[in-house]
Amino acid sequence: MQWSIQEISRLTGVTSRTLRHYDAVGLLPAVRTTDAGPRRYDRTALVRLQRILLLRDLGLGLGAIAEVLDAQRDEAQALRTHLVSLRAEQGRLARQIASVERTVADLEKDPDTTRESIMAKDMFDGFDHTQYEQEVTERWGRDAYQKSDAWWRGLSPQEQQEWKGRVAALSKDWADAAAAGTDPASDEAQALAARHAEWLVSVPGTPGAAQPLPDRGYLLGLADMYVADDRFAANYGGTEGATFVRDALRVFAERAYPAAADADGAY
């Protein structure tokens, strides 16, 4: 089955002019019975157009979109990846909507006395601790995120503050040790690494949660991510501090998972 350019435009909301441009630059080739014949689109083209629109919504330019499409030839797998991201975003937006609805309801119910109380509890649900939902879901699965999120929501405001204080103290100690030029293999650095591992397994849903040690691959993957992602590196004083954390965690892994090290070789 094939569709005309006008039919595709009506179905998708993409203008005929844009579709012709996509064809001209080779991003969405049309099917023609003759060189001068009208543009027609088959099912393969529709699937490709869906992927183009998804990538465009992520802010990618046409050149970057073309590179992604060329690199990911398995369309079903690529769309499954998009689906995970879309569902994560759907959940985040649903929480934001519910949060704003609660705020509006509280303000309309008692605008004079609830203004301060709503700030303290649910007003920013979906805006703060869920900011890495998509990444957690893509890396470790939806179940991991849901368990962690449910655990966080089950904490009292005081418990949440205590938890944030614990994390902030650990980050500061890492940054201070890095600034002091501490050897990643030193007792001081390894004590920090042990605290870090203990922190990771205390969060429900994380790989190795409630076990003596976090999953080795999870620990080492996080260590690399601290250096690769500026947002995480900032927690440790920048890239240099994050590199120190990574190196210390690698030494910790070598010592804590000797069987894995023997089987895999060097880290």
User: So what's the pLDDT on residue 98?
Assistant: 75
* CA–CA distance, 260 with 253 (Å, rounded to integer): 9
φ, ψ for residue 134, nearest 5 deg = -60, -45
Q: How far apart are CA 78 and CA 72, in angstroms?
A: 6
Q: In CATH, which of 1.10.1660.10, 1.20.810.10, 3.30.465.10, 3.40.50.300 is domain 3-72?
A: 1.10.1660.10
**Is 75 in contact with 51 (CB distance < 8 Å)?**
yes
Contact 220, 253 (CB under 8 A): yes
- C-alpha 137, offset from chain centre: 7
| Rg (alpha carbons) of the chain, rounded to whole number | 25
Contact residues for 99 (Cβ-Cβ < 8 A; gap 6+): 122, 123, 124, 125, 126, 127
Q: How high is the pLDDT of residue 82? A: 67
Return the number of other C-beta atoms located less than 10 Å from residue 49's C-beta. 19
Residue 219 CA to residue 205 CA, distance in Å, equals 14
Residue at token pair 């001209």:
24
For residue 128, the 8-state DSSP code is S
Q: List the chain domain ranges.
A: 3-72, 74-154, 155-267
Distance between CA atoms of 187 and 190, rounded to whole angstroms?
A: 5
Going residue by residue through the chain (267 aa), what tens digit of pLDDT does each one get? 888 889 989 888 889 999 999 998 999 988 876 666 788 898 888 888 988 888 887 667 788 788 888 877 777 777 776 676 677 667 667 777 777 777 677 777 765 544 444 444 443 444 444 444 555 555 545 565 567 767 777 778 778 778 877 888 888 899 889 989 999 999 999 999 999 999 888 877 777 777 888 888 878 888 888 888 777 777 788 889 999 999 999 999 999 986 544 334 333
Q: What is the pLDDT of residues 64-94, one digit of tens each?
A: 788 888 877 777 777 776 676 677 667 667 7
In the prediction, which pLDDT does 92 show? 65
Which amino acid is residue 79, in one-letter code? L
Q: How far is it, in rounded angstroms, from Cα 58 to Cα 12?
A: 17
Considering only the top CATH level, what class is 155-267?
mainly alpha
203 CB-side CA count, 13 A: 23
* pLDDT at position 224: 86
Q: How far apart are CA 230 and CA 247, in angstroms?
A: 17
* Residue 24 and residue 5 in contact, taking contact as beta carbons nearer than 8 Å: no
The pLDDT score that the predictor gives to residue 59 is 64
